[in-house]
Structure 1
Amino acid sequence: MIFINISRTKLTGKQLTSFLKMTEHLVVSTENGKIKGKVGKDYHGGKFYSFSGIPYAKAPVGELRFKAPEPADPWEGVRDGTKEGPECPQMFLRPKFYVGKQDNCLNLNVYTKELPKTDDTKKKPVMVFIHGGGFIFGSNKKNFFGPQYLLTEDIVLVIPNYRLGVLGFLSLEDTSLNVPGNAGLKDQVMALKWVQKNIHHFGGDVNNVTIFGQSAGSASVHYLTLSKLTKGLFHKAIMQSGSAFNPWARGKRNAADIAKVMGYQPNIDEKTILQKLRQASTKSIVKAQNKVVDNTFTSVVRPFGPVIEYKHDEAFLDEDPVEIIKAGKNQQIPVIIGYTSLEGLLYEVIRKVRSDAKLPGSLEVDIPYELNISEKSETAKKIAEEMKQFYYNDKDLSKKNINIRFMLSSDILFLHGIQRTINLLKKYSTTPVYAYKMTVSSPLNFLTMCCQSNYFLTVGMYNLFIRWSGQSSLKHLFQNLRKKLLVKHLDGVAHGDDLFYLMSTSLSPKVAIGSEEDIYIQRFVKLWTNFAKHGDPTPEALEVLNSTKWSPVVDEPISSILEIGNTIKMTEYTENERLKFWDKLYEDYAS
């Protein structure tokens, strides 16, 4: 680390002068105050600077809890940005794993290759990453979203936290209480406003900002492009495995849900609920929230997530997303959007970490709530039988046919909504849409690898051992032991595995320069950063991209797509026939 105890270090006068200049260079003045950063290294050994835990909004406590964020207050002196800020309160993965001990979590991390020396220094493209986690968990921690891959390119990377679960998505009917919902999405807007005011201090170009995200982060990116609050805050968008049209990406008015699990009396009014929730500890709220049924199926809307607000001046979203796009009121910007080849493996991950996630005995639970069909109705039984015939072809729903379940989950939870997004953007927008399918298979596919084993957590621990073992003989031993735990082969890439090619994590194996994994990382990084720089992911022929030209979508429905696999190429889009099944259902039943 660059900050050392000078009193215990013998430095010559020249070395001391050089050291003081370097440390002074790592203090950046923002609109709110000075922040001290530190030096890091990318995975190729290049240098970058990091500034962590920078507040972009006031702590949402007291009367500000559940409200839209307010700009951060200024501070005196030099703030320590060498340490990460707190994550937002949540139950992470397993019900008993509570993290985020304070409401004061609205902070962001900034990573940059070079700090500006003068006002005339050429500004760099800015990439703002929105983390996923189903709107109920996740954070900007470097253990999950390390910058070591992306910072091999000359960009500025920003990763904010935003409020989660009921703290971020409490939505009340009573308009006088001014809690319409979407506080977590409004946090993201506030972070983007901070970028516009401050990122030039870190070398970033306020006129060239790309937002990108994965899963719920991708759905957030989609929502941000639809909101009237975000005009001028960004200029390009990348959506990885998520859309506002995915059934898990919508919430509901939820005062009664949280009041019940908090133990409040029946029929309590919303004003009293709000007062009690503001007085309750964050831990009690998050633990209670975990008791609300948050279905892994699609027949019931989720309790906590984005909502269409009632009409008011500061609404993040007060119209249906489809109507916004049809009216051309979404941001007209270049977009990358895509998915992994077997998104539905997320179902297997959920089964391995949640005791209540069991295989269903029928498919009525998989009928999207948007179709407005009662799960107990004769219509539901008829549609469930059609689904069974289409996907299972008279095979049963047992574990031996789990691969069919993965495909069904892929289509319902991800692909159909993503395809709807692509088709609507192509039809009603004027800017290019670049579509991709990720099929890369390598040791970096951590989630796919875990799904191949009956010992999910054990495989995760072996990955940590492999990463942290200093001796090559021990690494070889752990790698062999991990292989013995893999009991089945899965043909596809799980939801979330694309992130391991863009972000370094505590679970990522060390990547040797020139290895196949290194090449796969370079491809992803080059495509994403080219898009951030130029609005075109392949503006020139590059060897690492096999000199492939990524063409934007020209047809509706889609006819071709970029396959980002062990090779990279434009290929025929093969999912249309499957997704026509869902198009027909939506056409027949969705209001």
Structure 2
Amino acid sequence: MSDIIVEIQQGKLKGATGEDYYGGKFYKFLGIPYAKAPKGDLRFKAPNPPESWTDIRNATKEGPECPSSDMYFTYFIGNEDNCLNLNVFTKELPKESESLKKPVMVWIHGGAFVTGSNKSDLYGPDYLMTQDIILVTINYRLGILGFASFKDPSLEVPGNNGLKDMRMALKWVQQNIEKFGGDPNNVTIFGESAGAASVHYLVLSPSTKGLFHKAILQSGCALNNWAWGKNNSTEIAKCLGYKDTEEKKILDRLRKESAKNIIRGQGKLKEDFSAGSVRPFGPVVEPPSEDAFLTEHPLKILQSQSWNKVPIIMGYNSGEGIFFELVRKTVPGIKLPLNLEQEIPYELGLANTDKGKEIAERLKELYFADSNEEDIDQVYKLKGDIIFMQSIQRAIGYHSKNTDSPIFAYRMSVVGTLNYLNTILLSSSINTVGFCLFMCKLSSMTKWMFQGLINCFSKKHLPLVSHADDLTYLFATFFTPKIQKGSQEDIYIQRCVKMWTNFAKYGKPTSETDDETLNDLSWKSVGADKIEFLDIGEKLKIIDNIDIERLEIWNEFYDFLIA
């Protein structure tokens, strides 16, 4: 077989072939640099365009992660050499006589802005490649290296370099995706958790106009207060053991520090993801400049209606708050939220006020009227609403009232055998599950063996979808078993894949044509006064104003902020 060669602006690439989970062939080009390596003088700077090469570049192996701790096992991974890379997957390469270009989907991974990567062991293209789209998965800088934000303007480290990396990757797509058969005028960005919040920031930033044309936000948005950061030179110095307080001295030391030491120091900051405190690493509002990504608060942008008006899918999972179990079992000292004043989002500015005490009483009545603050099921609901649901719902409301572009809302509630995070987090043997995952990744343990083991662990059954469990219906992972065609898992996967790729192709997730996968469902855009959600459960069904009873009370709290 002859080499698979594609020539882009920077030079020629040698690709490889893969198989989707039905056995169909696709092409893959891996580890492609979209920017210069962010090291040396480029560390903590906005990304620069990639350099060209003369020989044929081997793009058959994935590139390195950006320096971070492994998402599952916390050991150090990645390096700064070519960490700003992306992968391209396509069912077929363009022919000279072919004019029809394919829709492009650009995936932005989650990981709380401190971990994650574009590696196929978590984001395998096997499911999406059953459809005729082009998939691009990207890396971006994380934690201190991606979201250091210093106040001193002379240092030129205002923040948001991770977001600026994403913007640079989208520019690369505009310049090069036609060479793979993609349509630069039909690009959909999509992401989950911090990836979804990043997608929302890309929608809100005036600097990204024309780089994409649709957006999908899964379990995250720019109004989630865990998606905001702050000027963090003090926190950086503290976690790295620096006694310096002058920002220039801190930055000088950081430039000489190894990436491994930076990530190790960063790990000393144990986050509890409480709504009552600002996270140290994340997007910030920057002073205006030529490279600035975000110069106004997301809420102000939404109120001013000055965002990129593109079609959007936005939603969340039915059991987002089960994520609290991960925090509770992995961060020392985390306790149940017995003091509800500490659960009031910090942006409301109600700490130690009479209004704060009043809201704490309202929260107790709303979530614990028939139980107490130690009822873990109600804690999951409280945490899910505070950290995810209410701000995503408010974002949907802002978009639906102030744009002519369609907004499609959903709640994921399907509970199946692929809901692994739910199983792991609710297991009384979480450490054993983690060990089995680790062995499955590093050894010859088969995926079926892992699934058999995980099903043996005792767990509390909740018919809810945990944070991130929607991903297993879009991407294959290193621990996903072989999916049998026609199985219940296959049905769930194909309908999610079909809706997401329909949206990328046509701007709407369902079509008028007969489609057995979607049961002729018509998923309509939300209205300004009536928000219809698609509930993605065992069956697909439309529900008006979902979770409205709790949302109305949260809206009342935030009306106080706006007033």
TM range (shorter): over 0.9
**3-state DSSP class of the match of 2:106?**
strand
Partner of 2:487: 515
1:37-186 map, 5 Å: 37-93=15-71, 97-102=75-80, 104-118=82-96, 120-186=98-164
Say whether residues 1:196 and 2:174 are aligned partners: yes
Say whether residues 1:586 and 2:558 are aligned partners: yes
Q: Structure 1: any 5+ residue segments left out of the alignment? A: 1-18
Looking at structure 2, the residues matched to 325 and 431 of structure 1 have their Cα atoms a distance apart, in angstroms, of 14
1:227-246 map, 5 Å: 227-246=205-224
Which amino acid in 1 is paired with 2:360? A
**3-state DSSP class of the match of 2:215?**
strand
Q: Structure 2: any 5+ residue segments left out of the alignment? A: none
Say whether residues 1:263 and 2:245 are aligned partners: no
- Provide closer, same or farther for how the CA distance between residues 203 and 356 of structure 1 changes in structure 2, counting only shifts above 3 A: farther
Looking at structure 2, the residues matched to 89 and 209 of structure 1 have their Cα atoms a distance apart, in angstroms, of 28
Which amino acid in 2 is paired with 1:415? M
> In the TM superposition, what is the alpha-carbon distance from 1:522 to its structure 2 partner?
0.5
Looking at structure 1, the residues matched to 81 and 554 of structure 2 have their Cα atoms a distance apart, in angstroms, of 41
- Provide closer, same or farther for how the CA distance between residues 464 and 86 of structure 1 changes in structure 2, counting only shifts above 3 A: closer
RMSD: 2.2
1:300-379 map, 5 Å: 300-374=277-351, 376-379=352-355
Alignment check: 8 A CA contact 1:108 1:140 kept: yes
Alignment check: 8 A CA contact 1:372 1:590 kept: no
Say whether residues 1:392 and 2:365 are aligned partners: no
- Provide closer, same or farther for how the CA distance between residues 269 and 470 of structure 1 changes in structure 2, counting only shifts above 3 A: closer
Alignment check: 8 A CA contact 1:295 1:302 kept: no
Once the two structures are superposed, residues 170-200 of structure 1 have per-residue CA deviations (whole angstroms, 9 ceiling, x without a partner) of: 1111111111110000000000000000011
Partner of 1:209: 187
Alignment check: 8 A CA contact 1:48 1:112 kept: yes
> In the TM superposition, what is the alpha-carbon distance from 1:104 to its structure 2 partner?
3.6
- Provide closer, same or farther for how the CA distance between residues 260 and 51 of structure 1 changes in structure 2, counting only shifts above 3 A: same
**3-state DSSP class of the match of 2:268?**
coil
Looking at structure 2, the residues matched to 235 and 37 of structure 1 have their Cα atoms a distance apart, in angstroms, of 27
Alignment check: 8 A CA contact 2:108 2:189 kept: yes
Once the two structures are superposed, residues 206-241 of structure 1 have per-residue CA deviations (whole angstroms, 9 ceiling, x without a partner) of: 111000000000000000001111110000000000
Say whether residues 1:274 and 2:251 are aligned partners: yes
Looking at structure 1, the residues matched to 401 and 154 of structure 2 have their Cα atoms a distance apart, in angstroms, of 39
**3-state DSSP class of the match of 1:168?**
helix
**3-state DSSP class of the match of 2:37?**
coil
Partner of 1:453: 427
Looking at structure 2, the residues matched to 153 and 111 of structure 1 have their Cα atoms a distance apart, in angstroms, of 11
Partner of 1:404: 378
Once the two structures are superposed, residues 537-581 of structure 1 have per-residue CA deviations (whole angstroms, 9 ceiling, x without a partner) of: 1123311101111111024352x2111111112123331110111
Once the two structures are superposed, residues 428-466 of structure 1 have per-residue CA deviations (whole angstroms, 9 ceiling, x without a partner) of: 111000011111111111111112311124335657889
- State TM-score, norm by structure 2: 0.95
Alignment check: 8 A CA contact 1:462 1:478 kept: yes
Alignment check: 8 A CA contact 2:68 2:263 kept: yes
Which amino acid in 2 is paired with 1:576? I
Partner of 1:381: 357
Partner of 1:439: 413
Alignment check: 8 A CA contact 1:92 1:99 kept: yes
Looking at structure 1, the residues matched to 283 and 152 of structure 2 have their Cα atoms a distance apart, in angstroms, of 17
Q: Any runs of at least 4 consecutive aligned residues in structure 1 with deviations exceeding 4 A, and if so which?
A: 93-96, 376-379, 460-472, 477-481
**3-state DSSP class of the match of 2:533?**
strand
Looking at structure 2, the residues matched to 469 and 546 of structure 1 have their Cα atoms a distance apart, in angstroms, of 41
Alignment check: 8 A CA contact 2:185 2:213 kept: yes
Moved more, 389-398 or 351-360: 351-360
- Provide closer, same or farther for how the CA distance between residues 82 and 457 of structure 1 changes in structure 2, counting only shifts above 3 A: farther
Which amino acid in 1 is paired with 2:51? D
Looking at structure 2, the residues matched to 103 and 299 of structure 1 have their Cα atoms a distance apart, in angstroms, of 37
> In the TM superposition, what is the alpha-carbon distance from 1:379 to its structure 2 partner?
4.2
Once the two structures are superposed, residues 278-304 of structure 1 have per-residue CA deviations (whole angstroms, 9 ceiling, x without a partner) of: 111111111111223433211111000
> In the TM superposition, what is the alpha-carbon distance from 1:276 to its structure 2 partner?
1.1
Which amino acid in 2 is paired with 1:65? R
Of 527, 531, 547, the match for 1:554: 527
Which amino acid in 2 is paired with 1:178? E
Looking at structure 1, the residues matched to 524 and 432 of structure 2 have their Cα atoms a distance apart, in angstroms, of 42
> In the TM superposition, what is the alpha-carbon distance from 1:397 to its structure 2 partner?
1.9
**3-state DSSP class of the match of 1:357?**
coil
Partner of 1:575: 547
Which amino acid in 1 is paired with 2:551? L
- Provide closer, same or farther for how the CA distance between residues 479 and 287 of structure 1 changes in structure 2, counting only shifts above 3 A: closer
Once the two structures are superposed, residues 38-71 of structure 1 have per-residue CA deviations (whole angstroms, 9 ceiling, x without a partner) of: 1100000000011110000001111211111000
Once the two structures are superposed, residues 324-344 of structure 1 have per-residue CA deviations (whole angstroms, 9 ceiling, x without a partner) of: 233332111111011111111
Partner of 1:413: 387
- Provide closer, same or farther for how the CA distance between residues 337 and 480 of structure 1 changes in structure 2, counting only shifts above 3 A: same
Looking at structure 1, the residues matched to 339 and 135 of structure 2 have their Cα atoms a distance apart, in angstroms, of 45
Of 196, 204, 210, the match for 1:226: 204
**3-state DSSP class of the match of 1:550?**
coil
Looking at structure 2, the residues matched to 119 and 312 of structure 1 have their Cα atoms a distance apart, in angstroms, of 44
Which amino acid in 1 is paired with 2:358? K
- Provide closer, same or farther for how the CA distance between residues 203 and 407 of structure 1 changes in structure 2, counting only shifts above 3 A: same
Looking at structure 2, the residues matched to 310 and 290 of structure 1 have their Cα atoms a distance apart, in angstroms, of 28
- Provide closer, same or farther for how the CA distance between residues 504 and 247 of structure 1 changes in structure 2, counting only shifts above 3 A: same
Looking at structure 2, the residues matched to 471 and 405 of structure 1 have their Cα atoms a distance apart, in angstroms, of 36
Looking at structure 2, the residues matched to 514 and 468 of structure 1 have their Cα atoms a distance apart, in angstroms, of 30
Alignment check: 8 A CA contact 1:93 1:353 kept: no
Alignment check: 8 A CA contact 2:325 2:426 kept: no
- Provide closer, same or farther for how the CA distance between residues 183 and 119 of structure 1 changes in structure 2, counting only shifts above 3 A: farther
Looking at structure 2, the residues matched to 240 and 394 of structure 1 have their Cα atoms a distance apart, in angstroms, of 31
Looking at structure 1, the residues matched to 522 and 437 of structure 2 have their Cα atoms a distance apart, in angstroms, of 35
- Provide closer, same or farther for how the CA distance between residues 121 and 585 of structure 1 changes in structure 2, counting only shifts above 3 A: same
Looking at structure 2, the residues matched to 465 and 544 of structure 1 have their Cα atoms a distance apart, in angstroms, of 35
Partner of 2:503: 531
Once the two structures are superposed, residues 368-425 of structure 1 have per-residue CA deviations (whole angstroms, 9 ceiling, x without a partner) of: 1101122x45543332222112110163222xx1010110011101111111111000
Say whether residues 1:292 and 2:269 are aligned partners: yes
- State TM-score, norm by structure 1: 0.91
Of 396, 407, 423, the match for 2:397: 423
Alignment check: 8 A CA contact 2:10 2:52 kept: yes
Which amino acid in 1 is paired with 2:514? A
**3-state DSSP class of the match of 1:257?**
helix
Alignment check: 8 A CA contact 1:467 1:509 kept: no
Alignment check: 8 A CA contact 1:541 1:548 kept: no
Once the two structures are superposed, residues 450-492 of structure 1 have per-residue CA deviations (whole angstroms, 9 ceiling, x without a partner) of: 12311124335657889999999x94x7655533313321121
**3-state DSSP class of the match of 2:57?**
strand
Query: Among the aligned pairs, what percent are the same residue?
Result: 50
- Provide closer, same or farther for how the CA distance between residues 486 and 315 of structure 1 changes in structure 2, counting only shifts above 3 A: same
Looking at structure 1, the residues matched to 81 and 226 of structure 2 have their Cα atoms a distance apart, in angstroms, of 25
Alignment check: 8 A CA contact 1:423 1:557 kept: no
> In the TM superposition, what is the alpha-carbon distance from 1:96 to its structure 2 partner?
5.1
**3-state DSSP class of the match of 2:292?**
coil
**3-state DSSP class of the match of 2:517?**
helix
